[in-house]
């Protein structure tokens, strides 16, 4: 499969996976005020979890894409 077609398929798979998510957090862009409280640590932890979730979705899309390639390659 050509690279543009594969990239399009990965994109579509990822969008389908994201659409199935009921509660997908977005990263907070604003930095919390560093007033000595635990708020900055919570902010970092929340953003870290959001990134891990997106990485898991991308890995799932890549795996599904590889499975589709394997199915198409088998006679």
- Looking at the 3D structure of the chain, how many domains does it have? 1
Residue 26 lies inside a defined structural domain of this protein: no
Residue 61 lies inside a defined structural domain of this protein: yes
Residue 7 structural domain: 3-19+36-73
Measured between alpha carbons, how far is residue 27 from residues 1, 4, 53, 61, 68 in Å? 34, 29, 11, 21, 31
What tens digit of pLDDT does each residue of 43-67 get?
889 899 999 999 999 999 999 999 9
Choose among 43, 5, 40, 12: nearest CA to 25.
43
More confident residue, 72 or 51: 51
What tens digit of pLDDT does each residue of 4-30 get?
888 999 999 999 999 998 888 888 777
Residue 25 lies inside a defined structural domain of this protein: no
pTM over 0.75: yes
Task: Tell me what the mean pLDDT of segment 33-40 comes to.
Answer: 73
- Helices (DSSP H) in 1-75: which residue ranges? 3-20, 39-73
């Amino acid at each position: 499969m050509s690279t543009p077609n594969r990239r399009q398929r990965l994109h579509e798979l990822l969008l389908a996976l994201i659409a199935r998510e009921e509660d997908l957090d977005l990263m907070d862009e604003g930095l919390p005020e560093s007033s000595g409280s635990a708020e900055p640590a919570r902010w970092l932890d929340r953003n870290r979890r959001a990134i891990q979730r997106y990485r898991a979705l991308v890995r799932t899309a890549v795996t599904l894409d590889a499975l589709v390639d394997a199915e198409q390659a088998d006679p």
